[in-house]
Amino acid sequence: QVHVVESGGGLVQAGGSLRLSCAASGLTFSTYVMGWFRQAPGKEREFVAAISVSVGRTDYADSVKGRFTISRDNAKNTVYLQMNSLKPEDTSLYYCAAKPATSGDYYRLTYEYRYWGQGTRVTVSS
C-alpha cells in the first residue's frame, strides 16, 4: 500500500521561510516524478513545483520561481520544498504527489499524478 505524507506546514509571517517534507512509502520512489501542488479555499488545485527521478530536471510555477526550491533524496524516499520570501498569497493547503516517470515529460497535469498525500497547511500572515 502506498503512503504519501506531507509535513512542515505552519504559520509564518510574510518574508519568512518554511520547509515542507514529503515521505513516500510502498512504491519504488526512484521511478516517480515528485510534485508539489497547492489549493486555496475556493480555488482550483494548482501546480507549484516538480522534480524528475534523477534530480536532473525541475519545473516551477512562475508565481514561485526564484523563491521556492524543490529537492529529493531517493535514499530517504523523501521530497522537499524549501519556501523562502513567503507571501500572503502563498497561503494554501500544499499537496505532495507522485507521477510515474513513464507517463511523460510534462509535469504540471494533476491527473497524471497517481498518488497524493493529505496535504499540509501553510498560512502566511501579512
pLDDT score of 113: 97
Segment 51-65 shows an average pLDDT of 92
Please determine, for residue 55, whether its predicted confidence score (pLDDT) is greater than 70: no
Cβ within 8 Å of residue 83, ≥6 positions away: 17, 18, 19, 20, 64, 67, 68, 90, 122
In this prediction, residue 66 carries a pLDDT of 98
Residue 37: pLDDT band with limits 50, 70, 90: very high
Alpha-carbon distance of 1 to 81, in angstroms, equals: 24
What's the confidence (pLDDT) of residue 79?
97
Average pLDDT over residues 1-30: 97
The torsion angles phi and psi of 80, rounded to 5 degrees, stand at: -125, 155
Instruction: Note the pLDDT of residue 54.
Output: 81
CA atoms 124, 11, 35, 79: torsion sign = positive
Pairing of strands 120-125, 10-13: parallel
pLDDT at 38 over 80: yes
Residue-wise pLDDT for 61-110, tens only, equals 999 999 999 999 999 999 999 999 999 999 999 999 999 998 888 999 99
pLDDT score, position 56: 75
